[in-house]
Amino acid sequence: MQDFDWWQHSVIYEIYPRSFQDSNRDGIGDLSGMARRLDYLVGLGIDAIWISPIFPSPMADFGYDVANYCEIDPIFGTLQDFDRFLEEAHHRGLRVILDFVPNHTSDQHPWFLESRSSLKNPKRDWYLWRDQPNNWLSSFGGSGWEFDEKTGQYYYHSFLKQQPDLNWRNPDVKAAMYNILRFWLRGGVDGFRVDVMWLLIKDDQFRDNPPNPGYRAGLPSSHQLLPVYNSDRPETHSLVTEMRAVLDEFPGRVLIGEIYLPVQQLVTYYGPDLKGAQLPFNFHLLQCAWNAEALAHSILSYYDALPAGAWPNWVLGNHDQPRIASRIGAAMAPVAAMLLLTLPGTLTLYYGEELGMTNVPIPAEQVQDPAEKNEPGLGQGRDPERTPMPWDASPSAGFTAGVPWLPLGDDYPTINVEALEQNPSSILHLYRHLIRLRRTSPALVHGKLKLVAADRHLLSFQREGEKERFLVLLNLGYDSVQLPLVNATVVISTYLDRIAESVNGSFEIRPAEGLLLRLP
């Protein structure tokens, strides 16, 4: 795979740092803990780690409210701990991607403290201040505008009022943010996942958003309006291109964008001449109904929309979305694993996906996420998918010697790394096999994607490289399916049996079974 950049043939693994491994008994994961688990990640076969924010933060939105972009929050450790982590990861051949949160800072960031101190402060224009609010809404509920007594103006916040939005039309803001990227790039980080890339710039006239005709009671209040003037503005693209140019000052780095948009708009974030994000996250699988027709449609419409030369990527979970095993059922999780790991391009896993981890119900008094606290019961809460990684069956699952910041799932005594390790047909072993296969069979990474088809509960496609040809058959139903097949060999089943079985003639795919077959 020498013809490709490292990130093109990578499996990226997202770590939510509060929940991976605690090392000092405070019940919150940290860098030293993470470093202790690097060998596990090497064993899993992943190539790169993306760490959700670890910078100093009041933690109003658990690190997505940054108070200092060039330091590490003491909860997670020190800059030295980070350097050590980076070195140990690199030593093992793992890349490290940081989370860059450019749309907003914490309201405790010195820039905002200055900005709000007076109308004349040189940093006043670093944020979005107005005499009067317009109708824009916060994603976390209520108006997006907060009145500031002292100076008598309102500031805009796409998320919490503790997360004021920066003014990306101000050249000083841009320069400061690009220098932050350089700080970490010089320090050796391999790239960035950019938070809410599609929200960075807002309409310069602050026009009101139109009502959303699709809104109905029970949806988050932010859905009342269509985000026409405060998201996906045409000016965003020049910012993305500038960020990419900063990364390109350093060899071999990757720019990933968090973008929730329909495919046609999503793919514009590759940028003119592909000089935007190398990987605008493709979230369409994690939003797709779990049936063969919808999935085939999602895969094809994304694939067809890709600009020439653009590199595909796929995601089944992240720290904002219900876990895949809860969404489709634990029995179906292995099929999702096979789907993800047989698609072309770059893949992102969310920690615990490889265990078939499910959402953990959080009792009301233990809710942490402000998205849930602000609008309870509307399904906004993200705590259930952020619970500690279960490593073993010991009290607190080997995650902490203290009290975990979020509860462990009831099933952790059986669903944990150590237990699944000992069961050769577990989903953990399936992930490991599938990830390894991508290394030994480059056709799975960059071979052509062909013949994507849905037939009742069966989703199928082929992957065709120069030397190898594969057929992927995914039974998304709970009845077996009988298929006429000529001359193929089973490479792997999600049941982890029938390896090397040769197929000729009528052939059975069991309930919720995925099969990877080699074609002649």
What is the set of active-site residues? 195, 249
Compose the 447-486 pattern: x for residues touching ligand TEU by CB under 6 A, - for all others.
----------------------------------------
* Contact status: 16 vs ligand TEU (CB under 6 A): no
Amino acid making up residue 351: Y
CB 409 within 8 A of CB 362: no
How many binding residues for ligand TEU (CB under 6 A)? 13
- Residue 66 beta carbon to ligand TEU: minimum distance, rounded to whole angstroms: 9
Interatomic CA distance for residues 32 and 82, integer angstroms: 8
Cα–Cα distance measured from residue 69 to residue 184, given in angstroms and rounded to the nearest whole number: 10
To ligand TEU, the closest distance from the beta carbon of 235 in angstroms equals 19
Phi, psi of 370 (to 5 degrees): -60, -25
Is 281 a binder of ligand TEU (CB under 6 A)?
A: no
The torsion angles phi and psi of 30, rounded to 5 degrees, stand at: -155, 175
* DSSP character at residue 327: H
- Regarding 260 and contact with ligand TEU (CB under 6 A), the answer is yes
Query: Is residue 320 involved in binding ligand TEU (CB under 6 A)?
Result: yes
Q: Does 196 sit near ligand TEU (CB under 6 A)?
A: yes
Name which of 315 and 452 has its Cβ closer to ligand TEU.
315
- Torsion angles phi and psi, residue 494, rounded to 5: -65, -20
Alpha-carbon span 260 to 220, nearest angstrom: 16
Tokens standing for residue 435: 């990830």
Distance CA 146, CA 156 (A): 7
Backbone angles phi, psi at 36, to 5 degrees: -65, -20
Between 287 and 502, name the residue whose CB sits nearer to ligand TEU. Answer: 287
Using the minimum distance from each CB to Ca ion, give the nearer residue, 30 or 99. 30
Q: Coil, strand or helix: which one is 397?
A: helix
Strands 95-100, 458-464: parallel, antiparallel or unpaired by DSSP?
unpaired
Write out the two tokens for 43.
């064993």
Nearer to ligand TEU, 11 or 101 (CB): 101
Question: CA-CA distance, 136 to 519, in Å (whole number)?
Answer: 54
- As measured in angstroms, the least distance from the Cβ of 21 to Ca ion is 8
Backbone angles phi, psi at 435, to 5 degrees: -65, -40
Q: Decide which of Ca ion, ligand TEU, none touches 260; Cβ closer than 5 to 8 Å per partner kind.
A: ligand TEU
CA nearest to 4, candidates 395, 445, 476: 445
Cβ atoms < 10 Å from Cβ of 350: 25
Binding residue for Ca ion, selected from 8, 10, 14, 22, defined by CB under 5 A: 22
> Which of residues 61 and 73 has its CB atom nearest to Ca ion in the complex?
73
- How many residues comprise the chain? 520
* Among the listed residues 115, 134, 139, 162, the single contact to ligand TEU using CB under 6 A: 139
Question: Helix/strand/coil (H, E, C) string of 208-266?
Answer: CCCECCCCCCCCCHHHHECCCCCCCCCCHHHHHHHHHHHHHCCCCCEEEECCCCCHHHH
C-beta closer to ligand TEU: residue 222 or 400: 222
When the beta carbons of 255 and 459 are compared against ligand TEU, the nearer one is: 255
Provide the 10 A C-beta neighbour count for residue 404: 18
**What is the contact mask toward Ca ion in residues 23 to 62, using x (rule: CB under 5 A)?**
-x-x-x-x--------------------------------
Binding partner of residue 24 among ligand TEU, Ca ion, none, CB cut-off 5 to 8 Å per kind = Ca ion
Burial of 306 (0-12, 13-18, 19+ CB in 10 A): middle
Residue 196 interaction partner, one of ligand TEU, Ca ion, none, beta carbon < 5-8 Å per kind: ligand TEU
154 binds, among Ca ion, ligand TEU, none (CB under 5 to 8 A by kind): none
Classify the phi-psi angles of 482: left when phi > 0, otherwise alpha if psi is within -120 to 50, otherwise beta.
beta
Alpha-carbon distances of 40 from 46, 177, 389, 432, rounded to whole Å: 10, 34, 12, 11
Q: Binds 22, which of ligand TEU, Ca ion, none (CB < 5 to 8 A, cut-off by type)?
A: Ca ion
195 touching ligand TEU, by CB under 6 A: yes
State which residue, 54 or 419, has the beta carbon closest to Ca ion.
Answer: 54
Binding mask 25-54 toward ligand TEU (x if CB under 6 A, else -) reads: ------------------------------
Taking the complex as a whole, how short is the minimal distance between the CB of residue 406 and ligand TEU, in angstroms?
15
How many whole angstroms separate alpha carbon 385 and alpha carbon 368? 12
Q: How far is the CB of 285 from ligand TEU (least distance, A)?
A: 15
- Least gap, CB of 35 to Ca ion (angstroms): 12
- Residue of 76, 145, 159, 302 interacting with ligand TEU (CB under 6 A): 159
**CA–CA separation, 12 vs 252, rounded Å?**
15
**Closer residue to Ca ion (CB): 26 or 464:** 26
Per-residue x/- marks for Ca ion, 337-366, CB under 5 A?
------------------------------
From Ca ion, ligand TEU, none, interface partner of 26 (C-beta below 5 to 8 A by class): Ca ion
Contact set with Ca ion (CB under 5 A): 22, 24, 26, 28, 30
Contact set with ligand TEU (CB under 6 A): 61, 64, 101, 139, 159, 195-196, 258, 260, 319-320, 380, 382
